[in-house]
Amino acid sequence: MSEHQEFSRQDYYPNFAPYYDQIFDAVATDRNKIFNVTRQLIENMIPKPLTMLDLGTGTGGLLKEFRDDIEILVGLDSSSDMLEVAKTKLPEAEFIEGDMSDFNLDRKFDVIVCMFDAINHLKDIDRWEGLFASASRHLNRGGQFIFDTHTIASLSRLVTYKDGLSWPVGDGLYNYKARRSGLLLNEIIADFSLRPDTHDQVTNEITGQIREITFPLQEIRTRAAIHLHPLTSLDLNLASSLNKNGADFASDTSLRAMFVYTNKKETST
Protein backbone atom coordinates (compact mmCIF):
# COMPACT_ATOMS: atom_id res chain seq x y z
CA MET A 1 0.00 0.00 0.00
CA SER A 2 1.24 3.49 -0.87
CA GLU A 3 2.70 5.55 1.94
CA HIS A 4 0.28 8.30 0.87
CA GLN A 5 -2.86 6.39 1.79
CA GLU A 6 -4.85 8.65 4.08
CA PHE A 7 -6.90 6.37 6.30
CA SER A 8 -6.37 3.40 8.55
CA ARG A 9 -8.41 1.25 6.20
CA GLN A 10 -8.50 2.89 2.80
CA ASP A 11 -7.84 -0.36 0.98
CA TYR A 12 -10.26 0.12 -1.89
CA TYR A 13 -7.82 1.14 -4.61
CA PRO A 14 -5.17 -1.58 -4.14
CA ASN A 15 -7.89 -4.23 -4.15
CA PHE A 16 -10.17 -2.89 -6.86
CA ALA A 17 -7.72 -1.27 -9.30
CA PRO A 18 -7.90 -4.11 -11.89
CA TYR A 19 -11.72 -3.86 -11.90
CA TYR A 20 -12.04 -0.06 -11.54
CA ASP A 21 -12.81 0.70 -15.21
CA GLN A 22 -15.45 -2.01 -15.44
CA ILE A 23 -17.02 -0.79 -12.21
CA PHE A 24 -16.87 2.83 -13.32
CA ASP A 25 -18.69 1.94 -16.58
CA ALA A 26 -21.47 0.29 -14.60
CA VAL A 27 -21.82 2.82 -11.81
CA ALA A 28 -20.91 6.27 -13.13
CA THR A 29 -23.87 6.83 -15.42
CA ASP A 30 -23.27 10.59 -15.45
CA ARG A 31 -19.67 10.38 -16.55
CA ASN A 32 -20.22 11.41 -20.18
CA LYS A 33 -22.05 14.47 -18.97
CA ILE A 34 -19.14 15.29 -16.69
CA PHE A 35 -16.64 14.82 -19.52
CA ASN A 36 -18.74 17.05 -21.80
CA VAL A 37 -19.16 19.81 -19.24
CA THR A 38 -15.43 19.69 -18.45
CA ARG A 39 -14.58 19.89 -22.14
CA GLN A 40 -16.97 22.79 -22.69
CA LEU A 41 -15.57 24.71 -19.70
CA ILE A 42 -12.04 24.29 -21.01
CA GLU A 43 -12.94 25.28 -24.57
CA ASN A 44 -14.75 28.40 -23.37
CA MET A 45 -11.63 29.69 -21.69
CA ILE A 46 -8.61 28.10 -23.37
CA PRO A 47 -9.24 27.23 -27.03
CA LYS A 48 -5.99 25.24 -27.46
CA PRO A 49 -4.60 24.00 -24.16
CA LEU A 50 -1.25 22.24 -24.48
CA THR A 51 -0.87 20.76 -21.02
CA MET A 52 -3.22 19.06 -18.55
CA LEU A 53 -2.64 17.73 -15.03
CA ASP A 54 -5.21 15.34 -13.54
CA LEU A 55 -5.10 15.09 -9.72
CA GLY A 56 -6.33 11.79 -8.27
CA THR A 57 -6.23 10.53 -11.84
CA GLY A 58 -6.97 6.92 -10.87
CA THR A 59 -6.76 4.80 -14.02
CA GLY A 60 -6.47 7.91 -16.21
CA GLY A 61 -10.02 7.80 -17.64
CA LEU A 62 -10.40 11.56 -17.89
CA LEU A 63 -6.96 12.08 -19.42
CA LYS A 64 -7.83 9.48 -22.03
CA GLU A 65 -10.83 11.60 -23.08
CA PHE A 66 -8.42 14.42 -23.96
CA ARG A 67 -5.69 12.36 -25.64
CA ASP A 68 -6.52 13.73 -29.13
CA ASP A 69 -6.82 17.35 -27.99
CA ILE A 70 -4.07 18.03 -25.47
CA GLU A 71 -0.45 17.25 -26.19
CA ILE A 72 0.99 16.79 -22.72
CA LEU A 73 -1.08 14.77 -20.26
CA VAL A 74 0.11 14.18 -16.68
CA GLY A 75 -1.73 12.21 -14.00
CA LEU A 76 -0.95 12.23 -10.28
CA ASP A 77 -2.33 9.67 -7.83
CA SER A 78 -1.37 8.17 -4.48
CA SER A 79 -2.23 4.62 -5.54
CA SER A 80 0.49 2.78 -7.45
CA ASP A 81 -2.05 0.06 -8.30
CA MET A 82 -4.37 2.55 -10.05
CA LEU A 83 -1.40 4.09 -11.85
CA GLU A 84 -0.29 0.69 -13.15
CA VAL A 85 -3.63 0.36 -14.95
CA ALA A 86 -3.44 3.98 -16.18
CA LYS A 87 0.03 3.43 -17.68
CA THR A 88 -1.19 0.45 -19.69
CA LYS A 89 -4.22 2.35 -20.98
CA LEU A 90 -2.47 5.57 -21.86
CA PRO A 91 1.24 4.96 -22.54
CA GLU A 92 1.73 8.42 -24.04
CA ALA A 93 0.82 10.15 -20.74
CA GLU A 94 3.08 10.63 -17.72
CA PHE A 95 1.92 9.23 -14.40
CA ILE A 96 3.36 10.28 -11.07
CA GLU A 97 2.77 8.74 -7.65
CA GLY A 98 2.19 11.47 -5.09
CA ASP A 99 -0.10 13.26 -2.68
CA MET A 100 -2.38 15.79 -4.38
CA SER A 101 -2.67 17.83 -1.18
CA ASP A 102 1.05 18.63 -1.28
CA PHE A 103 3.07 18.24 -4.45
CA ASN A 104 5.72 20.03 -6.44
CA LEU A 105 6.30 19.01 -10.04
CA ASP A 106 8.44 22.03 -10.96
CA ARG A 107 6.31 22.90 -14.00
CA LYS A 108 3.01 24.52 -14.86
CA PHE A 109 -0.09 23.49 -16.77
CA ASP A 110 -2.84 25.15 -18.82
CA VAL A 111 -5.52 22.98 -17.24
CA ILE A 112 -5.61 21.17 -13.90
CA VAL A 113 -8.53 18.91 -13.01
CA CYS A 114 -9.54 16.86 -9.98
CA MET A 115 -12.70 14.92 -10.77
CA PHE A 116 -15.13 12.21 -9.73
CA ASP A 117 -14.99 12.79 -5.98
CA ALA A 118 -11.21 12.47 -5.78
CA ILE A 119 -11.00 15.56 -3.53
CA ASN A 120 -13.43 13.93 -1.08
CA HIS A 121 -10.68 11.46 -0.17
CA LEU A 122 -8.68 14.21 1.56
CA LYS A 123 -9.52 13.89 5.21
CA ASP A 124 -9.52 17.47 6.48
CA ILE A 125 -10.02 20.99 5.17
CA ASP A 126 -6.32 21.83 5.60
CA ARG A 127 -5.49 19.12 3.06
CA TRP A 128 -8.13 20.55 0.73
CA GLU A 129 -6.44 23.91 1.08
CA GLY A 130 -3.10 22.19 0.43
CA LEU A 131 -4.54 20.92 -2.84
CA PHE A 132 -5.74 24.43 -3.76
CA ALA A 133 -2.31 25.89 -2.93
CA SER A 134 -0.51 23.15 -4.89
CA ALA A 135 -2.85 23.58 -7.88
CA SER A 136 -2.32 27.37 -7.88
CA ARG A 137 1.49 26.90 -7.93
CA HIS A 138 1.15 24.68 -11.00
CA LEU A 139 -1.23 26.81 -13.10
CA ASN A 140 0.01 28.76 -16.09
CA ARG A 141 -1.12 32.39 -16.27
CA GLY A 142 -4.77 32.32 -17.36
CA GLY A 143 -4.91 28.59 -16.66
CA GLN A 144 -7.94 26.78 -15.35
CA PHE A 145 -8.44 24.55 -12.32
CA ILE A 146 -11.64 22.49 -12.31
CA PHE A 147 -12.78 20.14 -9.55
CA ASP A 148 -15.97 18.45 -8.49
CA THR A 149 -17.10 17.46 -5.03
CA HIS A 150 -19.77 15.69 -3.06
CA THR A 151 -21.90 18.03 -0.98
CA ILE A 152 -23.27 17.30 2.49
CA ALA A 153 -26.61 16.64 0.70
CA SER A 154 -25.10 14.04 -1.61
CA LEU A 155 -23.23 12.21 1.17
CA SER A 156 -26.42 12.26 3.27
CA ARG A 157 -28.31 10.71 0.39
CA LEU A 158 -25.82 7.86 0.11
CA VAL A 159 -26.40 6.77 3.72
CA THR A 160 -30.18 6.59 3.20
CA TYR A 161 -29.82 3.37 1.17
CA LYS A 162 -30.18 1.12 4.20
CA ASP A 163 -29.65 -2.08 2.19
CA GLY A 164 -26.89 -0.53 0.14
CA LEU A 165 -26.72 -0.49 -3.65
CA SER A 166 -25.70 -3.16 -6.16
CA TRP A 167 -24.74 -3.15 -9.82
CA PRO A 168 -23.95 -6.02 -12.20
CA VAL A 169 -20.30 -5.82 -13.20
CA GLY A 170 -19.18 -8.38 -15.77
CA ASP A 171 -20.53 -11.71 -14.54
CA GLY A 172 -20.40 -10.52 -10.96
CA LEU A 173 -22.15 -8.19 -8.58
CA TYR A 174 -20.66 -5.02 -7.12
CA ASN A 175 -22.06 -3.95 -3.75
CA TYR A 176 -21.88 -0.59 -1.99
CA LYS A 177 -23.03 0.35 1.48
CA ALA A 178 -22.34 3.65 3.19
CA ARG A 179 -22.76 4.72 6.80
CA ARG A 180 -22.07 7.91 8.64
CA SER A 181 -18.70 8.23 10.28
CA GLY A 182 -19.82 8.58 13.91
CA LEU A 183 -22.16 11.53 14.28
CA LEU A 184 -20.54 13.54 11.53
CA LEU A 185 -22.86 14.82 8.81
CA ASN A 186 -20.04 15.55 6.40
CA GLU A 187 -18.22 12.23 6.48
CA ILE A 188 -19.17 8.71 5.39
CA ILE A 189 -17.50 5.33 5.43
CA ALA A 190 -18.40 3.13 2.47
CA ASP A 191 -17.85 -0.63 2.25
CA PHE A 192 -17.55 -2.26 -1.15
CA SER A 193 -17.48 -5.86 -2.28
CA LEU A 194 -17.22 -7.64 -5.60
CA ARG A 195 -17.25 -11.31 -6.46
CA PRO A 196 -15.95 -10.99 -10.02
CA ASP A 197 -17.76 -14.11 -11.24
CA THR A 198 -20.90 -15.11 -9.34
CA HIS A 199 -20.93 -18.54 -11.03
CA ASP A 200 -17.46 -19.37 -9.81
CA GLN A 201 -17.54 -20.31 -6.13
CA VAL A 202 -13.74 -20.50 -6.11
CA THR A 203 -13.24 -16.81 -6.89
CA ASN A 204 -12.60 -14.84 -3.76
CA GLU A 205 -14.74 -11.89 -2.91
CA ILE A 206 -12.84 -8.60 -3.08
CA THR A 207 -13.59 -6.04 -0.40
CA GLY A 208 -12.50 -2.50 0.35
CA GLN A 209 -13.40 0.61 2.23
CA ILE A 210 -13.31 4.33 1.47
CA ARG A 211 -13.95 7.28 3.74
CA GLU A 212 -15.30 10.36 2.01
CA ILE A 213 -15.57 13.81 3.47
CA THR A 214 -16.94 17.16 2.36
CA PHE A 215 -17.58 20.62 3.79
CA PRO A 216 -20.18 23.39 3.46
CA LEU A 217 -19.56 25.01 0.08
CA GLN A 218 -18.89 28.36 1.74
CA GLU A 219 -15.97 26.82 3.65
CA ILE A 220 -14.61 25.26 0.45
CA ARG A 221 -14.93 28.59 -1.38
CA THR A 222 -13.20 30.45 1.45
CA ARG A 223 -10.22 28.07 1.48
CA ALA A 224 -9.94 28.02 -2.32
CA ALA A 225 -10.10 31.83 -2.54
CA ILE A 226 -6.93 32.11 -0.44
CA HIS A 227 -4.98 30.67 -3.38
CA LEU A 228 -7.15 30.96 -6.50
CA HIS A 229 -9.55 33.30 -8.23
CA PRO A 230 -13.11 31.92 -8.62
CA LEU A 231 -14.66 31.88 -12.10
CA THR A 232 -17.86 29.91 -11.71
CA SER A 233 -19.54 26.93 -10.11
CA LEU A 234 -22.05 24.46 -11.45
CA ASP A 235 -24.67 22.10 -10.13
CA LEU A 236 -23.86 19.16 -12.35
CA ASN A 237 -27.22 17.52 -11.92
CA LEU A 238 -28.94 20.64 -13.25
CA ALA A 239 -26.34 21.69 -15.80
CA SER A 240 -27.65 20.54 -19.15
CA SER A 241 -25.29 23.04 -20.69
CA LEU A 242 -23.21 25.82 -19.28
CA ASN A 243 -25.65 28.43 -18.15
CA LYS A 244 -23.97 31.79 -18.43
CA ASN A 245 -26.69 33.41 -16.31
CA GLY A 246 -25.53 31.39 -13.37
CA ALA A 247 -28.81 29.55 -12.83
CA ASP A 248 -26.85 26.35 -12.42
CA PHE A 249 -24.58 27.63 -9.64
CA ALA A 250 -23.56 24.97 -7.13
CA SER A 251 -25.26 25.03 -3.74
CA ASP A 252 -25.22 22.84 -0.63
CA THR A 253 -28.21 20.96 -2.04
CA SER A 254 -26.44 20.09 -5.31
CA LEU A 255 -25.81 16.37 -5.66
CA ARG A 256 -22.58 17.06 -7.49
CA ALA A 257 -20.94 20.47 -7.35
CA MET A 258 -18.27 21.59 -9.77
CA PHE A 259 -15.97 24.60 -9.37
CA VAL A 260 -13.82 26.50 -11.82
CA TYR A 261 -10.87 28.66 -10.74
CA THR A 262 -7.98 30.51 -12.31
CA ASN A 263 -4.86 32.21 -10.92
CA LYS A 264 -5.09 35.05 -8.47
CA LYS A 265 -3.62 38.13 -10.15
CA GLU A 266 -0.94 38.73 -7.55
CA THR A 267 0.35 35.13 -7.77
CA SER A 268 0.48 35.07 -11.61
CA THR A 269 3.95 34.89 -13.04
Is 62 or 217 the residue whose CB approaches ligand SAM more closely? Answer: 62
Cα–Cα distance, 32 to 34 (Å, whole number)? 5
Q: In a 3-state reduction of DSSP, which class is residue 148?
A: strand
**Residue from the set 38, 41, 53, 56 that interacts with ligand SAM by CB under 6 A:** 56
Is 25 or 268 the residue whose CB approaches ligand SAM more closely? Answer: 25
**Residue from the set 115, 194, 213, 220 that interacts with ligand SAM by CB under 6 A:** 115
**Residue 63 binding ligand SAM, by CB under 6 A:** no
Closest separation in Å from C-beta 75 to ligand SAM: 9
Secondary structure tally for the chain: helices H, strands E? 8, 11
CA pseudo-torsion sign 156, 157, 158, 163: positive
**Residue from the set 100, 169, 188, 250 that interacts with ligand SAM by CB under 6 A:** 100
Closest separation in Å from C-beta 244 to ligand SAM: 26
User: Closest Cα partner for 210 from 3, 16, 43?
Assistant: 16
Closest separation in Å from C-beta 100 to ligand SAM: 4
Question: Looking at the DSSP assignment, which residues form a beta bridge with residue 145?
Answer: 112, 261
**Cα–Cα distances in angstroms (integers) from residue 58 to residues 91, 182, 217, in the given order:** 14, 28, 25
Q: Are 261 and 144 in contact (CB under 8 A)?
A: yes
**Residue 118 binding ligand SAM, by CB under 6 A:** yes
Half-sphere exposure of residue 138, counting CA atoms within 13 Å on the CB side?
26
Closest separation in Å from C-beta 121 to ligand SAM: 4
Is 192 or 261 the residue whose CB approaches ligand SAM more closely? Answer: 192
**Residue from the set 58, 143, 172, 208 that interacts with ligand SAM by CB under 6 A:** 58
Query: Contact residues for ligand SAM (CB under 6 A)?
Result: 4, 6, 13, 24, 56-58, 61-62, 77-79, 82, 99-101, 115-118, 121-122
